[in-house]
Amino acid sequence: MPSVAMTVNGKAASGEVETRTLLVHFLRENLRLTGTHVGCDTSQCGACVVHVNGKAVKSCTMLAVQAEGAQVTTIEGLAKDGTLHPVQAAFKEHHGLQCGFCTPGMIMTAVDMIRRIPNLDEKTIRSELEGNLCRCTGYQNIVKAIDAASKEMKGAHA
């Protein structure tokens, strides 16, 4: 079996995988980082979104071997020293989840969009969430949480 090595949440990670092993399975099964979820397994729902080299991607539609040498960030890598990332805190504050299954992917997508787009409005947030499905909330509080986090993070950098 080929071996694969990458940096995950700032730490070196490696393992033996089959060539057909998906990145999400490497993260969940080899590294036991089970915060990243597999929802639809057809790149539609976004529960598996992680960042690869700083960009949000669907880890169910990428082979682990394609991530050789990459910098990967998962939901487990966001909180620092026991303090939630501002997007995580905003989801908590604004009740941006119910069952929580889609939440890791929602948050990773939200962090990516906040990083890319300086002035997020509601319409943009909704269109940027096109690849993330939530079957509980109706999205209202997810959008509210992202909007609040975006404003707060802008304030923090100003």
Partner 1 sequence: MYQFQYFRPKSLDEARKLYENNGDAKFLAGGQTLIPTLKQRLAQPTALIDLGGIAMSGIKVAGGVVTIGAGTKHFDVATSADVKGTIPALAHLAGHIGDPAVRHMGTLGGSIANNDPAADYPAAALGLGATIKTTSRSINADDFFTGMFETALEEGEIVTEVSFPVPEKAAYMKFPNPASRYAMVGVFVAKTKTGVRVAVTGAASSVFRESAMEAALAKSFTPDAVAGIKVSPANMNGDLHGTAEYRAHLVTVMAKRAVAAAIA
Which member of 6, 49, 75, 145 binds partner 1 (CB under 8 A)? 49
Q: With respect to partner 1, which residue has the nearer C-beta, 46 or 86?
A: 46
- One-character DSSP codes across 28-87: IIIS--TTS--SSSSSSS-TTEEEETTEEEEGGGSBGGGGTT-EEE-GGGT-BTTB--HH
Q: Which residue has the tokens 């880890």?
A: 59
Does 43 bind partner 1 (CB under 8 A)? Our answer is yes
Kindly indicate which of the ranges 31-39, 49-57, 75-83, 138-146 contains the residues binding partner 1, using the contact rule CB under 8 A: 49-57
Q: What are phi and psi of 66, to 5 degrees?
A: -70, -20
Q: With respect to partner 1, which residue has the nearer C-beta, 13 or 64?
A: 64
Nearest Cα neighbor of 23 from 41, 45, 1 is 41
Rounded CA separation 86/43 (Å): 26
Does 61 bind partner 1 (CB under 8 A)? Our answer is yes
* Minimum separation from the CB atom of position 130 to partner 1 (A): 4
Burial 78-114 (b: 16+ CB within 10 A, else e): beeeeeebbbbbbbebbebbeeebbbbbbbbbbbbbb
Q: With respect to partner 1, which residue has the nearer C-beta, 92 or 126?
A: 126
- From residue 74 to residue 103, what is the string marking binding to partner 1 with x (rule CB under 8 A)? ------------------------------
* Footprint on residues 2-31 left by partner 1 (CB under 8 A): 2, 18-20, 22
Contact footprint for partner 1 (CB under 8 A): 2, 18-20, 22, 41-44, 46, 49, 55-58, 61-63, 65-66, 68, 109, 112-113, 128, 130-132
